[in-house]
């Protein structure tokens, strides 16, 4: 592929590509809501301008022998303008087939009160932070296309496609991993839980794998947004406990999901709740010249119900696990495992297709959205001419046996919690109950007197 170094798949790319299923597509979305019209022609031009700096998002997958490769796509992604007032959920959209289509799409929906943009990504091409960088580039290119703009804030950041070669070890330079082999052994030893423990899904069920995807059974999403005051209180509560806000949010997810499981299916004393928690392993979360790609790994914190009862002890144990994932490179253990498995014919596919629950749910936190964007108003919202970006959501994918996934994102000093759910398993009312249980648990961690929620649908 021209201008694309090392076209061979990384281990994570291969894992995510093989894990894609017709009934559980590995697509995720960013949904942006503006309060005024967005010009479709300018947006289309901005979309194509931004794509030039992100080679993976305009590539398709080919296979030579046992090796998967990225190749140039004959047709480039385009902007699709949907009829005014169209449903901006994800159920009506076809899944991305990377053997035929490039890995990014953009939809524009004009509404009576503004415009909704929906960005769709295949996870094999990029992680959430990489996709967020691309979305920011599109918005910056759109701002730059305004002839009345004299600001340098709309200049696109430099992206170095040559650095995509680093993605094979997810940014660990000149790999010093094996100089820290004892830490890797510790990480892999802890990962035994990932391979051997009995994991409880949120609801006991048998997923219907690899059936054709349809709008009636595709995943759906709902969300809640904390107020500016509540978001500040959450951060203060974490600071007072000497932990990160993300650690507090993981702890509260264990508490809420444990209570829901007990009240519905129940589970045995030997079963664990396990979360798949992605983590950024770039040198920084802000732009450092990397195009959209997968520069992440995962940890899998797991707890039995009896380990969740003491909330203070649970928070301490989660904090320690998060700390070790950084200081002792436990994040890298997952990469090492995937790299080893794919060197054995069929081993990676066997792990992916194991007929059991491997994680109760995905819990991903991409942090503060668009932190480098210069054109913002007094409320910290992005301003594109007369259009103000009111809200941003990350809509995560579902995997077999995972009936819900949770994505956390902060924009304009407000924390948004998005719950993706499987309507084949959960009713809309039950999904709302699960989200409310989590949000209420988070609220209890900072105990605001006036803890109002702005509740939105899709």
Q: Cβ(361)–Cβ(276) under 8 Å?
A: yes
pLDDT for 127 equals 95
**Average pLDDT of span 265-290:** 80
Which among 139, 75, 81 is positioned nearest to 103, based on CA atoms?
A: 75
pLDDT-derived band at 192, boundaries 50, 70, 90: low
* pLDDT at residue 19 greater than cutoff 70: yes
β strands within 146-260, DSSP E: 220-226
**How do residues 316-354 score in pLDDT, each as one tens digit?**
999 998 887 776 666 677 887 888 888 889 999 998 888
Instruction: Please tell me what DSSP assigns to residue 382.
Output: B
Can you identify the CATH homologous superfamily of domain 11-151+180-456?
A: Nonribosomal peptide synthetase, condensation domain (3.30.559.30)
**How do residues 134-154 score in pLDDT, each as one tens digit?**
999 999 999 988 755 444 445
**How do residues 368-377 score in pLDDT, each as one tens digit?**
988 767 667 7
The better pLDDT of the pair 386, 179 is held by 386
Q: How far apart are CA 29 and CA 104, in angstroms?
A: 10
Q: Enter the tokens of residue 91.
A: 């159920």
Domain locations in the chain as residue ranges: 11-151+180-456
Cα 330–Cα 335–Cα 336 angle in degrees, nearest 5: 85
Q: Which of 2-6, 324-328, 428-432, 448-452 has the lowest mean pLDDT?
A: 448-452
The better pLDDT of the pair 50, 178 is held by 50
pLDDT-derived band at 391, boundaries 50, 70, 90: very high
**Model confidence, pTM:** 0.90
* pLDDT at residue 257 greater than cutoff 70: yes
Q: Cβ(444)–Cβ(430) under 8 Å?
A: no
pLDDT for 337 equals 81
State whether the Cα torsion 233-326-294-292 is positive or negative: positive
């Amino acid at each position: 592929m021209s201008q694309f170094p090392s076209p061979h798949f990384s281990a994570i790319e291969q894992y995510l590509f093989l894990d894609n299923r017709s009934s559980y597509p590995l697509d995720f979305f960013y949904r942006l809501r503006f309060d005024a019209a967005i010009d479709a022609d300018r947006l289309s031009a901005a979309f194509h301008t931004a794509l030039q700096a992100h080679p993976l998002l305009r590539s398709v997958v080919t296979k030579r022998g046992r090796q998967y490769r990225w190749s140039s796509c004959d047709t480039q992604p385009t902007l699709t303008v949907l009829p005014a007032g169209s449903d901006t959920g994800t159920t009506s959209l076809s899944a991305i087939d990377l053997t035929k289509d490039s890995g990014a799409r953009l939809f524009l929906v004009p509404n009576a009160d503004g415009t909704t943009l929906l960005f769709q990504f295949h996870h094999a091409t990029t992680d959430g932070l990489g996709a967020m960088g691309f979305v920011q580039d599109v918005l910056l290119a759109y701002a730059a296309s305004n002839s009345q703009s004299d600001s340098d804030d709309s200049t696109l950041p430099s992206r170095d496609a040559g650095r995509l070669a680093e993605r094979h070890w997810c940014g660990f330079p000149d790999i010093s991993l094996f100089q820290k082999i004892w830490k890797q052994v510790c990480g892999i030893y802890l990962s035994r839980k990932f391979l051997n423990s009995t994991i409880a899904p949120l609801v006991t069920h048998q997923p219907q794998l690899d059936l054709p995807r349809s709008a009636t059974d595709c995943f759906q999403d709902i969300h809640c947004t904390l107020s500016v005051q509540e978001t500040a209180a959450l951060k203060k509560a974490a600071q007072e406990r000497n932990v990160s806000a993300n650690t507090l949010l993981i702890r509260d997810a264990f508490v809420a999901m444990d209570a829901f499981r007990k009240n519905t299916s129940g589970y045995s004393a030997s079963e664990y709740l396990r979360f798949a928690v992605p983590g950024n392993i770039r040198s920084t979360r802000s732009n450092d010249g990397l195009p959209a790609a997968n520069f992440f790994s995962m940890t899998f914190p797991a707890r039995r119900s009896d380990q969740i009862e003491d909330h203070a002890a649970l928070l301490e144990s989660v904090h320690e696990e998060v700390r070790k994932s950084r200081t002792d490179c436990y994040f890298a253990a997952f990469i090492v495992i995937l790299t080893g498995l794919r060197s054995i014919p069929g081993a990676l596919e066997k792990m992916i297709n194991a007929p059991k629950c491997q994680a109760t749910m995905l819990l991903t936190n991409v942090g503060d959205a668009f932190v480098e964007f210069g054109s913002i108003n007094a409320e910290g919202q992005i301003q594109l001419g007369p259009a103000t970006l009111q809200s941003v959501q990350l809509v995560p994918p579902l995997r077999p046996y995972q009936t819900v996934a949770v994505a956390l994102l902060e924009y304009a000093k407000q924390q948004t919690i998005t719950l993706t759910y499987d309507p084949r398993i959960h009713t809309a009312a039950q999904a709302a109950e699960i989200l409310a249980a989590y949000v209420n648990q988070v609220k209890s961690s900072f105990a605001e007197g006036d803890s109002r929620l702005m509740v939105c649908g899709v």
